[in-house]
């Protein structure tokens, strides 16, 4: 791989990687069972430079911002490379957000350029807020010839001849603005520098190196912090190959493991659990004698790999299981949400280690990772090289708030100095997560201090961001909280949102009001929905400017009510 310590920016590292690994395959794009695209690093360069030249001609200058709203595909990475080559700042935006949310983040980030898929662009142009868009250059991928693009350009046609000028950036220059929230509430744009990404990549590849011949299956969206690093930057600077699927149907994901002999894949806990359920169901269908033999081989593998994984041994003991994963899989990488230890232990006993980690968007990608020395299913691993962790104000059990100091920690929140000062104190990033150190320096997470939940799909949900959905509710006032924020518990998993309702004078909570709450709740995606409600008998405390004192109200609710007072919706 490249020696990233010699570089000051991602653009230079990626540029050199395209030349060093010119003949290696860097990208494979498949749709269902059909391969659509296969690019070598040289092919990638030939496609990217004309796009870069066109951006240059369109007055896309260093420090200008370019947003990408796309599903996983080669054009995502090609566009990102072109932005870095020009010295621009990348703004990855979740394609699953609504058009109104897309427009909100485009406005907040002040993106000059937008690269977007055709079906997403059509939805954006039909949004009432579209009239206020200020993005100057929009490139639409896979648009039909002759389609009305509302002033946008077809990505495939946006190219110019000639060699573009490479723009070198410095380590403390901004590389990306990544949103950890901002779906209707207060946008949280994490400003990440080139040094943040370079240091993160150095740390990750020190423990889990890539090399030419490695094939990484990209399932998480590329805008996700994990996949951006492990499914783009990491593989490219090591000459590895990224496999994109245009579908997530289980049968085609399983086929991709075998067809492309996948080495690594990153998954959210929800998908890991689905894989576990599928394997357990297959095991249960085996004839009695085959199941007996399988259980004995699993037990033997468990005993022989108790302290350290031994992939070759596990493949010889459980060949059919490993053939189902393509025969080359070294590990499943997971993080972003609570992962049940039993699921990790299940795969480890099959000789397929689940490398669990912990990180935040504010810290680039990962803070800790299980190095499998030894394997621990009940922790999120050890701090990565260059990461310093502290437990603030630990109690008798050693549990306190996790704080981190590292060169991978963001510079600041975009246009929000107040939130930045609350989050980064004396150089330490306050995570809002509760944890303690266990044996061998492993970090164990035990709950959340902040008003937030994390779904099984790895989504961070901030209650403030979804309150507007309940606007018009016929009550005096309401407020939404994470249940564990109101009633702190030293546990993760099964996190839930609660709506606290203050009724009007002489108002009764009746079936009509309940139906109004349920109807508003249905307007939210499943993973954002409120799980229960409680009735609060006093007026909410407010500031002089009439804003709800959320923390004060939370403390009052937590002291005077029980978790059992919440009625499920």
Same domain, 318 and 378: yes
Domain count of the fold of the chain: 3
- Domain for residue 456, yes or no? no
Instruction: Give the pairing of strands 428-437 and 400-405.
Output: antiparallel
Are 355 and 331 within 8 A, CB to CB?
A: yes
Domain match, 423 and 488 both:
no
With respect to residue 223, please indicate whether it lies within any of the assigned structural domains: yes
pTM to 2 decimals? 0.89
My answer on whether 211 and 278 are in the same domain is: no
The pLDDT, as a whole number, for residue 553 is 94
Identify whether residues 444 and 381 lie together within a single domain. yes
Do 181 and 279 fall within a single domain?
Answer: no
Confidence at residue 364, expressed as pLDDT on a 0 to 100 scale: 94
For residue 5, how many other CB atoms are within 10 A of its CB?
A: 8
In this prediction, residues 340-351 reach a mean pLDDT of 94
In a domain, 168, yes or no: yes
Q: Residues 302, 350: one domain?
A: yes
Q: What is the pLDDT of residues 160-194, one digit of tens each?
A: 999 999 999 999 999 999 998 544 467 899 999 99
pLDDT (tens digit per residue) in 118-174: 999 999 999 999 999 999 999 999 999 999 999 999 999 999 999 999 999 999 999
Closest CA to 223 of 118, 98, 72: 72
As a whole number, the mean pLDDT across the chain is 93
Helix, strand or coil, per DSSP, at residue 2? coil
64 close to 112: Cβ distance less than 8 angstroms: yes
User: What pLDDT, on a 0 to 100 scale, did the predictor assign at position 449?
Assistant: 86
Would you state the pLDDT for residue 70? Answer: 96
Indicate the pLDDT class of residue 481, thresholds 50, 70 and 90: very high
What pLDDT is attached to residue 382?
96
Q: Which domain holds residue 475?
A: 466-568
Confidence check: pLDDT of 487 > 70 = yes
The answer to whether residue 290 is domain-embedded is: yes
Write phi, then psi, for 66 (nearest 5 degrees): -130, 125
Q: Is the pLDDT of residue 204 over 60?
A: yes
Partners of 188 in the β-ladder? 181
- In this structure, the answer to whether residues 374 and 398 fall within a common structural domain is yes
254 with 279, same domain? Answer: no
Last residue of a domain, one of 259, 285, 315: 259
In a domain, 383, yes or no: yes
pLDDT of residue 181: 57
In percent, the amount of the chain with pLDDT more than 90 equals 79
Q: Of all residues in the chain, what percent carry a pLDDT higher than 70?
A: 99
pLDDT(546) > 90: no
């Amino acid at each position: 791989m490249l020696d990233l310590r010699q570089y000051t920016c991602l653009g230079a590292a990626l540029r050199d990687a395209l030349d060093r690994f010119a003949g290696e395959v860097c990208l494979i794009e498949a749709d269902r069972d059909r391969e659509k695209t296969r690019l070598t690093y040289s092919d990638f360069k030939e496609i990217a430079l004309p796009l870069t030249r066109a951006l240059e001609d369109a007055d896309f200058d260093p420090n200008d911002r370019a947003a990408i709203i796309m599903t996983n595909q080669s054009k995502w990475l090609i566009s990102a490379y072109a932005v870095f080559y020009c010295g621009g700042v990348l703004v990855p935006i979740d394609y699953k957000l609504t058009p109104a949310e897309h427009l909100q983040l485009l406005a907040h980030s002040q993106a000059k350029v937008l690269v977007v898929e055709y079906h997403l662009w059509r939805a954006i142009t039909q949004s009432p807020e579209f009239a206020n868009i200020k993005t100057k250059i929009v490139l639409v991928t896979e648009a039909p010839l002759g389609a009305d693009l509302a002033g946008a350009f077809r990505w495939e046609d946006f190219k110019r001849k000639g060699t573009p000028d490479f723009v070198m950036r410095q380590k403390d220059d901004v590389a990306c603005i990544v949103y950890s929230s901002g779906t209707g509430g207060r946008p949280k744009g994490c400003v990440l520098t080139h040094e943040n990404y370079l240091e993160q990549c150095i740390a990750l590849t020190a423990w889990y190196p890539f090399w030419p011949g490695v094939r990484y299956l990209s399932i998480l969206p590329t805008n996700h912090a994990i996949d951006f690093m492990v499914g783009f930057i990491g593989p490219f600077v090591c000459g590895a190959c990224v496999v994109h699927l245009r579908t997530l149907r289980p049968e085609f994901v399983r086929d991709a493991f075998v067809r492309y002999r996948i080495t690594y894949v990153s998954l959210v806990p929800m998908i890991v659990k689905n894989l576990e359920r599928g394997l357990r169901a297959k095991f249960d269908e085996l004839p009695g004698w085959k199941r007996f033999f399988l259980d004995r081989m699993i037990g033997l593998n468990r005993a022989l790999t108790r302290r350290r994984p031994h992939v070759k041994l596990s493949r010889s003991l459980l060949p059919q299981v490993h053939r189902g994963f393509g025969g080359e899989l070294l590990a499943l990488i997971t993080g972003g949400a609570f992962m049940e230890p039993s699921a990790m232990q299940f795969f480890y006993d099959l000789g397929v280690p689940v490398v669990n980690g912990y990180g935040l968007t504010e810290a680039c990608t990962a803070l800790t990772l299980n190095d499998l020395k030894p394997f621990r299913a009940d922790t999120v691993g050890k701090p990565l090289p260059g990461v310093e962790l502290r437990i603030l104000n630990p109690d008798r059990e050693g549990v306190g708030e996790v704080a981190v100091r590292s060169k991978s920690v963001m510079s600041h929140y975009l246009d929000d100095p107040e939130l930045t000062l609350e989050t980064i104190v004396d150089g330490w990033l306050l995570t809002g997560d509760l944890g303690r150190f266990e044996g061998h320096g492993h970090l164990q997470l035990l709950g959340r201090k902040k008003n937030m939940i994390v779904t099984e799909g790895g989504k961070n949900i901030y209650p403030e961001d979804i309150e507007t959905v309940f606007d018009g509710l016929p009550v005096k006032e309401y407020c939404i909280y994470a249940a564990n924020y109101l009633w702190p518990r030293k546990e993760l998993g099964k996190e839930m949102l609660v709506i606290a309702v203050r009724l009007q004078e002489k108002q009764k909570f009746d079936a009509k009001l309940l139906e109004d709450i349920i109807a508003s709740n249905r307007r939210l995606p499943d993973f954002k929905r409120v799980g229960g409600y409680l009735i609060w008998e006093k007026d909410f405390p407010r500031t002089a400017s009439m804003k709800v004192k959320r923390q004060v109200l939370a403390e009052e609710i937590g002291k005077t009510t029980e978790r059992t007072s919440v009625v499920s919706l």
